Amino acid sequence: MDGIESRIDEVCRRIGGRSAAASVAGVSDDMLRRYVRGDSKPTFEVIAKLARAAGVSLDWIASGEDVTAASAKSGEAVQACACIDTLGNLVDLEEFVFIPRYNVKVAAGHGQAVTDAPPKHTMAFRRYWIENYLRAKPADLSVLSVKGDSLQGMLNDRDVILIDRSQTSGAAGLYVLRIDGDIIVKTLQRLPDGILEVSSANPAYKPFTVNMAKPPSDFAIIGRVVWFGRQVALNVGNGGFFAIGAALAMAEMKKKRAFADR
């Protein structure tokens, strides 16, 4: 296999496998295999999506040449696809998988409508961790963000979650669901007689049940939450800083009173 076919195959590997690449490109798995075999030619739009997700140039996919190749003519050694960390050390991309992050906010609340949008970008995870700790296949994983407060304290607004789409049994845990065209994240628990309890951590949101023997027409378990990330930041306005300052001043006054009473 040579030419553009081999480069498309390489792009698939970088993205996380052919299924993940097909999802990124918006084509079927079979069509992607046809690209790799050379039976069909990908459109410019497909090549652009694959290039963006894999972090390579359009020129490289189309012709195998890159803008960096020009420097080789002056006798400089150019290492193809070389990546370095913040300290200048070479990074082996083989150690990482790149999981597509979709621009869909999973509502920890009453739900948000699904849009058929392509991935926003990709997030890198160490391959060893994915395969040996999560015991997951990269092609089964997706990254989404959380919106809402129904799972406050467990999953907070703006958290980033990694879901495994192969885990749809509903065994006890956190899952992303589709209900009536909305995408939500909830806690699931299997009850006797095929009943699935869907609940939240926030008591303001009432639990409900789904009969899995006769589920609603637009109900599906999309995948299980297997990891989350959270930004640590103090996001408060002027009023928030005033309240914090007042609390610190009050604590200092109490400390002085306690000292004076001794």
Segment 170-205, tens digit of pLDDT:
889 999 998 887 888 899 999 999 999 999 888 888
Tell me how far apart the alpha carbons of residues 12 and 221 are, in angstroms, rounded to a whole number: 26
Q: What is the pLDDT of residues 133-146, one digit of tens each?
A: 999 998 889 899 88
Query: Are the C-beta atoms of residues 135 and 198 closer than 8 Å to each other?
Result: no
pTM for this structure?
A: 0.57
Question: 69 falls in which pLDDT band (50, 70, 90)?
Answer: very low
pLDDT of residue 71: 42
Amino acid at 233: A
Q: Where does residue 56 fall: left (phi above 0), alpha (psi -120 to 50 degrees), or beta otherwise?
A: beta
Segment 157-171 mean pLDDT: 90
Q: Of 22-31, 76-85, 183-192, which gets the smallest average pLDDT?
A: 76-85
Cα angle vertex 207, ends 205, 209, to 5°?
150
Mean pLDDT of 219-231: 91
d(C-alpha 96, C-alpha 73), whole Å = 31
Distances (CA, A) of 240 to 5, 157, 216, 237: 56, 18, 44, 5
**pLDDT band at residue 24 using 50, 70 and 90 as cut-offs:** confident
- C-beta separation of 221 from 186 below 8 A: no
Name the CATH superfamily, with its identifier, for domain 95-229.
Answer: Umud Fragment, subunit A (2.10.109.10)
Parse the chain into domains and list their residue ranges.
Answer: 4-91, 95-229
pLDDT at 238 over 50: no
Report how far residue 15's alpha carbon sits from residue 123's, in angstroms, rounded to the nearest whole number.
10
pLDDT of residue 131: 92
Asked: is 4-91 a CATH 3.30.230.70 domain? The reply is no
Q: Distances from the Cα of 6 to the Cαs of 10, 63, 69, in angstroms?
A: 6, 11, 19
User: For residue 259, what are its two tokens?
Assistant: 């000292």
